């Protein structure tokens, strides 16, 4: 039987949905300076990555998160790797949404495979559903906060959820409502041994982006969840019994959706106000819109290194590109050759063998503008 997404629209929910839509239109319509776009993308992605893992106890602060993101993907530190993996998952989601995302079980397993930290440094690959019981236990009291469904029920429950999210019924819902329902049902099924919360939050982001709530990549709700962690978990539980089969299996989701939409309203209002302040600001004369999605992702990554080093437009190596985007050496060199031909980057070495690259002057100026803005804000 397909997932029965029970809920009721309330006055506050409808009001916040309308306010979110108004903020979305502001962000999507206003022409913004390239430096502002790059800065807001970097801030949003950093807040999302740190916020989502901090909810689950990752101790890294903003400075530590920035260092983790800027570093190559070779550190054995699990806390740093959690943040890097979430950042990479968001980049991957951008690519999938642009290609016409279908949220099926294969996509969900692949997303979890990117997010989870694997022991021994194994390559990312699709995850498999859990085969054992996986209760959520309070680390202090050692009591069971939540008992998910039995492992033998997980495949059927996930098949039902995947069928629902692609159904006409789900697609007819407002984007934020469908995203809220997808995230809650997923985390209730708890299909993997670890990383379910992070994957649920990334799934909500994917559903929002697919339904038109990308907001130029500025939207971040994970930090708001983390700032009031108790309210987040209380809203997830919705006052129901701890056992899946005693409440969450057929829950009324109104309380959770009200919370989700309210947090989304807070986040979208903030970025709408930021976009209005940036509108008409001085812009470095570079053609941001002509950049590919990968080049934009690369600039956001490189901006974290600029802030970490406290220096303008740092150089980078082919290995950095390989680590950041999880691609092979030939692919990295193909990208670098293309970007060089497009006058996006240039060799930083003098000689026949190129070991390091840097941005061309106009793009380096843009990156330095972003760095100085962030320094002034701090």
Encode pLDDT of 79-132 as tens digits. 999 999 999 999 999 999 999 999 999 999 999 999 998 765 555 689 999 999
CA dihedral defined by 70, 72, 78, 83, rounded to 10 degrees?
40
* pLDDT tens figures, 8-60: 999 999 999 999 999 999 888 888 888 888 999 999 999 999 999 999 999 99
Could you tell me which residues come within 8 angstroms of residue 4 by beta carbon, excluding any fewer than 6 positions away? 250
Number of neighbouring beta carbons within 10 Å of residue 139: 7
Structure tokens at 71: 């570093």
Structure tokens at 164: 């629902």
* Nearest CA-CA partner of 321 in 340, 302, 347, 293: 302
Q: Are both 11-37+51-278 and 288-377 of the same fold?
A: no
Which residue matches tokens 């029970």?
A: 6
- Domain ranges for the chain, please list them: 11-37+51-278, 288-377
Q: pTM of the predicted model, to two decimals?
A: 0.91
Residue 252 to residue 275: CA distance in whole angstroms: 36
Does CATH place domain 11-37+51-278 in 1.10.3290.10? Answer: yes
Number of neighbouring beta carbons within 10 Å of residue 157: 22
Which residue matches tokens 């996509």?
A: 107
* pLDDT tens figures, 358-367: 999 989 988 8
Residue 43 to residue 65: CA distance in whole angstroms: 11
| Architecture category of domain 288-377 in CATH | Orthogonal Bundle (1.10)
Q: Which pLDDT does position 260 carry in this prediction?
A: 97
């Amino acid at each position: 039987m397909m997932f029965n997404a029970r809920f009721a629209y309330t006055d506050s929910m409808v009001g916040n949905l309308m306010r979110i839509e108004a903020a979305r239109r502001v962000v999507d319509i206003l022409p913004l300076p390239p430096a502002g776009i790059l800065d807001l993308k970097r801030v949003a992605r950093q807040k999302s990555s740190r916020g989502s893992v901090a909810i689950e106890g990752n101790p890294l602060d903003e400075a530590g998160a920035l260092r983790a993101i800027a570093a190559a993907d070779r550190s054995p530190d699990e806390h740093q790797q959690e943040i890097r993996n979430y950042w990479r998952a968001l980049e991957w989601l951008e690519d999938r949404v642009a290609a016409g995302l279908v949220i099926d079980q294969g996509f969900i397993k692949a997303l979890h495979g990117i997010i989870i930290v694997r022991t021994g440094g194994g390559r990312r690959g699709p995850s498999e559903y859990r085969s054992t019981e996986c209760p959520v236990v309070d680390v202090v009291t050692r009591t069971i906060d939540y008992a998910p469904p039995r492992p033998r029920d997980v495949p059927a429950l996930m098949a039902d959820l995947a069928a629902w999210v692609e159904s006409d019924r789900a697609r007819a819902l407002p984007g934020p409502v469908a995203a809220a329902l997808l995230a809650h049902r997923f985390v209730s099924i708890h299909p993997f041994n670890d990383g379910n919360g992070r994957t649920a939050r990334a799934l909500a982001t994917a559903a929002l982006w697919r339904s038109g709530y990308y907001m130029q990549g500025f939207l971040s709700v994970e930090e708001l969840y983390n700032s009031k962690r108790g309210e987040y978990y209380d809203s997830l539980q919705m006052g129901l019994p701890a056992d899946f089969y005693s409440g969450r299996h057929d829950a009324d989701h109104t309380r959770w959706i009200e919370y989700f939409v309210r947090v989304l309203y807070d986040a979208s209002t903030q970025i709408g106000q930021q976009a209005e302040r940036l509108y008409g600001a001085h812009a470095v004369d570079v053609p941001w819109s002509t950049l590919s999605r990968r080049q934009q992702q690369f600039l956001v990554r490189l901006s974290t290194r600029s802030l970490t080093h406290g220096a303008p437009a740092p150089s980078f190596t082919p290995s950095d590109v390989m680590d950041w985007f999880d691609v092979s050496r030939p692919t990295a060199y193909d990208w670098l050759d293309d970007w060089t031909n497009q006058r996006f980057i240039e060799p930083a070495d003098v000689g026949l063998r190129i070991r390091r690259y840097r941005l061309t002057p106009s793009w380096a100026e843009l990156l330095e503008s972003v760095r100085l803005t962030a320094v002034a804000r701090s």
